[in-house]
Amino acid sequence: MKNKSLTNNLSLNNTSLLFCLLSAFVFITICSKSSPLYSFNDWVDANCYFTVGKSIFKGLVPYRDLFEQKGPVIYFIHALASLISYRTFFGVYLFEVLIAFAFLYLVYKTLELFCGKNAFYIIPLVALIIYTSPAFCQGDSAEELCLPLLMYTVYIALKSVIQKNDITNKEFLLTGIFAACVFWTKFSLCGIYPGWFIPFAIYTLINKKHDQLIKSILFIGLGLLAGTLPWIIYFGFNHALNDLFTVYIYENIFFYARFESSHHSIITTVISRILSLVAGFGKFCHTFPIGLLLLITGGFYFYFRKWQKELVYIVSMFLFAFFFIYIGGRRYAYYGLGLAPFVCLGFIPFFLVFSSDNEKYKLFSRKTYLLYFVLVFTAFFLTDNRYMMKLRAKQDKLPQYKFAKIISQTPDATLLNFDCLDMGLYTTTGIVPNCKAFCGLNIHMKGQEDLQQKYIREGLCDYIVTFKNNLNGIDTNNLYVLVDRAETPTDVEGDVNTYFLYKLKERE
């Protein structure tokens, strides 16, 4: 009897792993522009990461040799992806599938705490809601890559409460490592950690578990050190520690975040920050409406079930995470994806109702595999990226491939992406930048615009790609001539972007 029970558990574990893996593969393939179904991932942020990442193996060091503002973890992931495919996002796509698998499996383990081992039946629906939301954006965001790390914190917090077990030293250590990884990817996503640790510290002090609190601080600290030391060594070895801290931390805080000038009063600044958070909530509601509904549903369900301690943890983690994400004043659609771990908890009451013994309401069981085909079919219509999927057979018409064909005629060509974010030409040509300010950024780094204009005046690059013909009014010393122009496809917001390609006259 014991062997039969063990066999059943192994079978359920294998099935849950398979459900999570298939869900990750299917929904990333459908929803991410990095997948082979798409002609190209033309998202400028993703191309920035890929350009910096592949340059690492060419001897360039982020921040020191190339201006970019995300954390080093995301660049090294893209560096590894470039070893799989140097001029496409196929390697990135494989990483996205693995990351989605880890995230969905942790979602399953969290739902299992409340719903039992059959909770894996709802995982495809979870994947549909998360990956087809506007907050998922175009695929390959920092938020997406951090999802399993954030979900792990939610999982261990709730597991310790429900199972009434202390968090182990290994779990504290892993939390510290994962927190460091999140910090060195995008530090505005780190709010979940104080949101978890503060209630934990209060509960341990109330229950006089001082030893556990001390051990938690020790092992989390060791984890933070383990997750940080590789970057200290790498940038220290390359004499770039000052560049790391100046660009990634200082300039992100004081130039990327929209803080007011120092002459404003404290009251004015506080009011402005509150309004920023309110606006951030509005943006979250707009880009993740189903996520908001699930958050509210889950919150009320926890409250009426009197899961008070669990609710304290969830509310604290959510509020801190929300505060860190939106306090800076920027409100891009993909920011909301950083709150997806909390959205997943809203599936708990939904599963408990529709997996009941009442066959009238039973949706999630072995008998309803047809439902999953419906979910997959639905994903094609819900993803905002499907407009790009239609261009798979016409990719040579895209600016990234049209311009690359022209540039390939020049041996060892150099390129400058002027005054706009990386539009993907470094990716399709395989060119590694020869300029520190290799593209325009959302952050106004000191001297960045002057550097780009200096490159143009000196004719440092063979080709320049720019947006909306904005070489007009720039002093080019009459060195460049326009050789082509091309439009991007109409995106989900109805925008069409026009790019212009210039060539150095001496190379004609």
What pLDDT, in 10s, does the model give residues 54-87?
999 999 999 999 999 999 999 999 999 999 999 9
Domain with CATH 3.40.190 in the chain: 395-507
Is the predicted pLDDT of residue 430 greater than 90, yes or no? yes
Burial 59-71 (b: 16+ CB within 10 A, else e): ebbbbbbbbbbbb
| Contact residues for 135 (Cβ-Cβ < 8 A; gap 6+) | 143, 284, 287, 288, 291, 333, 334, 335, 336, 337, 340
Which has the closest alpha carbon to 443: 69, 62, 51? 69
- Give the C-alpha separation, 319 to 309, whole Å: 16
pLDDT at site 261: 47
**Distance between CA atoms of residues 347 and 16, nearest Å:** 16
Question: Could you tell me where the beta strands, DSSP code E, fall in 178-281?
Answer: none
What pTM was computed for the model? 0.92
State the virtual CA torsion across 104, 107, 111, 117 in degrees, nearest 10. 40
For the stretch 4-24, what's the b/e string if a residue is b when 16 or more beta carbons lie within 10 angstroms of its beta carbon?
eeeeeeeeeeeebeebbbbbb
Copy the structure tokens of residue 91.
């390697």
| Fold annotation for 395-507 | D-Maltodextrin-Binding Protein; domain 2 (3.40.190)
- How much is the average pLDDT of 127-145? 95
CA distances from 28 to 33, 96, 321, 332 (A): 9, 7, 25, 21
- Using CA atoms, how far apart are residues 237 and 282, in angstroms rounded to an integer? 44
Do residues 77 and 95 touch, judged by C-beta distance below 8 A? yes
Name the pairing type of β-strands 498-504 and 463-467. antiparallel
* Predicted confidence (pLDDT) per residue in 347-364, tens digit: 998 888 777 554 544 555
Local confidence band at 419 (pLDDT 50, 70, 90 cut-offs): confident
Say if residue 33's pLDDT is above 60.
Answer: yes
3-state secondary structure of 478: coil
pLDDT above 70 as % of the chain: 91
- Residue 123's pLDDT is 92
The lowest-confidence range among 333-342, 344-353, 427-436 is: 344-353
- What is the rounded end-to-end Cα distance, in angstroms, of the chain? 81
What mean pLDDT is predicted for residues 313-342? Answer: 93
Q: What is the Cα–Cα distance from 6 to 348, expressed in whole angstroms?
A: 26
Locate tokens 């490592």: which residue? 177
Distance CA 67, CA 84 (A): 24
Question: What pLDDT was estimated at residue 269?
Answer: 74
Provide the pLDDT for residue 260.
47
* Greater model confidence, 202 or 252: 202
Residues in Cβ contact with 391 at an 8 Å cutoff, skipping those fewer than 6 apart = 39, 397, 398, 489
Q: Look at 331-340, 428-437, 482-491 and tell me which has the smallest mean pLDDT.
A: 482-491
pLDDT score of 424 more than 70: yes
Given a cut of 70, whether residue 508 has pLDDT beyond it is no
Characterize the bridge pairing of strands 463-467 and 415-418. parallel
* pLDDT at res. 361: 47
Q: According to the model, what pLDDT value does residue 471 have?
A: 81
Average pLDDT estimate for 383-393: 83
Would you give the DSSP letter of residue 431? Answer: P
Summarize pLDDT for 231-256 with one digit per residue, the tens.
999 999 999 999 999 999 988 887 76
**Average pLDDT in the 128-141 region?**
94
Q: What phi and psi, each to the nearest 5 degrees, are found at residue 502?
A: -110, 150
Q: Helices (H), strands (E): how many in the chain?
A: 20, 4
The pLDDT tens digits for 174-194 are 999 999 999 999 999 999 999
Taken in order 270, 276, 281, 284, the sign of the CA dihedral is negative
Residue appearing with tokens 């951090």: 146
66, β-bridge pairs: 62
| CB under 8 A, 24+ apart: contacts of 222-225 | 222/173, 222/176, 223/172, 223/173, 223/174, 223/175, 223/176, 223/177, 223/178, 223/179, 223/180, 224/176, 224/177, 224/179, 224/180, 225/176, 225/180
pLDDT at position 268 = 80
**Model confidence band, residue 263 (pLDDT cutoffs 50, 70, 90):** low
In terms of Cα–Cα distance, which of 470, 399, 479, 412 is closest to 440?
470
Kind and range of the H or E element at 499? Answer: strand 498-504
Helices (H), 32-89: 44-56, 72-84
The contacts of residue 252 (CB under 8 Å, 6+ apart) are: 69, 187, 443
Q: What count of residues does the chain have? A: 508
Task: Give Cα 413 distance to the centre of its chain.
Answer: 32
**What is the rounded (10 degree) CA torsion for 356, 359, 361, 366?**
70
pLDDT at 444: 67
Average pLDDT of span 80-100:
97
* Residues 33 and 388 sit within 8 Å (Cβ to Cβ): yes
